[in-house]
Amino acid sequence: MKRYFFSYRYRLFALLILLSAGAANAYAQSLTASPLPIIVASDEGDPYQVKEFTMDGPGMLKVFTLNGNIEVETVANSEKVRVELYVDRGYAFWSNTKNLDNYRIIIIQRGTEVVASVEQKTKGAGLFSDQMTFSFKIYIPESMSSELKTSGGHVELRGARGTHTIKTSGGNIDVRNIQGMVRAFTAGGNIDIRSSKGTIFAHTDGGNMNIDDNEGELRLRAKGGWIKAHRISGAMLAQVDGGDIEASFINVSQGISLETTAGDITVFLPGYTGYDISLKGSKVEMDYSESFEGVRRTSIIEGELNKGGATINLITGSGTVTFETEN
């Protein structure tokens, strides 16, 4: 009885080995015949979708994307809007079609509006779904306004007129050759605005600002970085939490108000005009002249330069204020 039981167990064990070997062989053959798809982002640079619309009048462009960049550029003497959507799938273990099933892509025209957006239908759809990025490159008429928003990318705007609102949760904002009004907000990136004319509101929670060759009104707020503004014509209000402010002006209209809690402030102004000056800091430096009348102390200077004019307020909590005029 024991010999029969041992023989039975031996035959059963051998059968299991044969079945396992056969299954492994069949599985290996199936992998060779049809391997699992591994999708890698294409290097060809071709857009995933392209759509064109004809505008009747200035119109409004509205763009939203989850993870990706937005680039908007104007085309002179054009009434067309061309929207190019670029998709970077990263790495995924399913087909191209299923890889996009969790996203709602909309590129449409509604009257005078063009809407381009990418939204996620449901959260947590897959292990690698968060690695996908959707970037837009859009060409618009010069007179078109825009609302541009991305949750995790950079935004560039070139050559437009009108009113523009730009928001990004973690990227940089780059604006050039704009005429009109710009509102720019980033939670963690830098803001670069150049060669623009109009009213500009800019706010960054964790980055720096470069503002060059701008004409109009500047309202700037940097919570965690510094602000540099050069060759400015117009008015400027700026506030920084702990960083430095540096500014140079071609001319001043209504006035200048710059404030930082712990950094230095350095301002260069034309010397041929008059100013009402209020400078406060741990140390205040100014090139005095016979045309100045007022209070002069180590930490405060208040008075009139060249018989007064535009208001200049420069305040730092624990830094140095440097005020210079250039003829």
Domain presence at residue 48: no
Q: Check pLDDT > 90 for residue 271.
A: no
Nearest to 215 by CA among 239, 191, 199, 192: 199
Mind listing the pLDDT tens digit for each residue in 273-296? 999 999 999 999 998 667 889 999
Domain presence at residue 284: yes
Domain extent at residue 241? 223-327
Q: What are phi and psi of 32, to 5 degrees?
A: -65, -40
Calculate mean pLDDT across residues 221-250: 96
Q: Check pLDDT > 70 for residue 105.
A: yes
* pLDDT for 91: 61
Burial status of residue 288 (CB atoms within 10 A of its CB: 0-12, 13-18, 19 or more): exposed
Q: Which of 38-42, 74-78, 109-113, 322-326 has the lowest mean pLDDT?
A: 38-42
* pLDDT for 100: 81
Mean pLDDT of the chain: 85
pLDDT exceeding 90 applies to what percent of the chain?
Answer: 69
H helical segments located in the chain: 2-33, 96-99
Q: Check pLDDT > 70 for residue 297.
A: yes
pTM beyond 0.85, yes or no: no
Q: Check pLDDT > 50 for residue 159.
A: yes
Q: Check pLDDT > 90 for residue 127.
A: no
pLDDT exceeding 70 applies to what percent of the chain?
Answer: 80
* pLDDT for 219: 98
Nearest to 268 by CA among 253, 289, 251, 280: 251
Domain presence at residue 15: yes
Domain presence at residue 96: no
H helical segments located in 177-268: none
Domain presence at residue 303: yes
Domain presence at residue 67: no
- What domain count does the chain have? 2
Domain presence at residue 195: no
Q: Check pLDDT > 50 for residue 1.
A: no
Higher-pLDDT residue of 30 and 108 is: 108
Domain presence at residue 320: yes
